[in-house]
Amino acid sequence: MEFEFYYYIIFLATGFLAGFVDSIAGGGGIITVPVLMASGMPPHVALATNKLQSSFGSFTASVNFIQKGLVSLKDVILGVIFTFIGAVIGTKIILLLDASVLNKIIPFMLVLIFLYTLFNPKLGKVDKKGRFSKPVFFLIFGLLLGFYDGFFGPGTGTFWTITLVALMGLNLKKATATTKVMNFTSNVVSLGVFLFSGNVLFFIGILMGFGQIAGAYVGSSMVVKKDVAFIRGFFLFVVGVTILKLIYDSWLR
């Protein structure tokens, strides 16, 4: 596909903004997918290209968080393994089944997370004792959320962050950092499937990927420097916008 020159500027800027937002609170896809589709791309091409560009951002944020000490790859390797397995299964099944039912249910699940976070102002401020052992948690939620991201996707980062805070007792900074490692894992699986499908626009995906790298670095660095209250506010804002977008797409359009 060919585009007017100004589209490439828009793609690059969109990648930066999405990388910035996604590295702090997830939800970058609600920015990138509409822009890609508005450019005239068919839906399957937009989704495939989105996976390529988003992989740049989730990788950059993950590396930055690991280097800054907010997450250790050794501590989350079980999560990476089970998320990978879950995403493979989910991506395979989505080729056989219709995800439209989930499309209508997920907004209401996100509403519950939004309200739970809103009315628990101390949630994620400090580390607490987890309710699960690490192997059991990553076995269950690595498979479950990896499967979900491969099968459907919207809200995966939100689900990871809230389960890490509520069930593993991580503060919001550490939960956000761990979430990006898991997101990158499931992104790579989905990207692999899309690469074989031949629907990826490589130039656009890589161009947006450069924007993602810059945005993800700035955003993840901000997570390291800012206090939990900032991250909590940003998280609530992004989840709220995601809810409105999904409700519009699923029920009103």
Backbone angles phi, psi at 153, to 5 degrees: 115, -55
Q: Which two structure tokens, joined as six digits, stand for 240?
A: 């709220």
pLDDT of residue 102: 66
Q: 176 CB contacts (<8 Å, ≥6 apart)?
A: 23, 24, 25, 65, 70, 161, 223, 231, 235
pLDDT of residue 253: 67
Residue 149 C-beta-side C-alpha neighbours within 13 Å: 35
Q: Rounded to whole angstroms, what are the CA distances from 154 to 76, 87, 102, 169, 171? A: 22, 14, 10, 24, 23
Helices (H) and strands (E) in the chain, counts: 10, 0
Residue 76 C-beta-side C-alpha neighbours within 13 Å: 29
Check if the beta carbon of residue 228 is closer than 8 Å to that of residue 176.
no
Distance of alpha carbon 161 from alpha carbon 235, whole angstroms: 9
- How far does CA 99 lie from the centroid of its chain? 18
Q: DSSP letter at 151?
A: H
Q: Which two structure tokens, joined as six digits, stand for 195?
A: 């690469």
pLDDT of residue 180: 96
Taking alpha carbons only, the member of 158, 198, 183, 160 closest to residue 63 is 183
- For the stretch 39-72, pLDDT in tens is 999 887 888 899 999 999 999 999 999 999 999 9
Distance of alpha carbon 130 from alpha carbon 120, whole angstroms: 17
Positions in the chain whose pLDDT score sits under 70: 95, 97-100, 102-103, 253
Q: Which two structure tokens, joined as six digits, stand for 153?
A: 């996707």
For residue 99, the SS3 value is coil
Distance of alpha carbon 149 from alpha carbon 153, whole angstroms: 4
Q: Please measure the distance between the N-terminal and C-terminal CA atoms of the chain and give it in whole angstroms.
A: 27
pLDDT of residue 122: 83
pLDDT of residue 96: 72
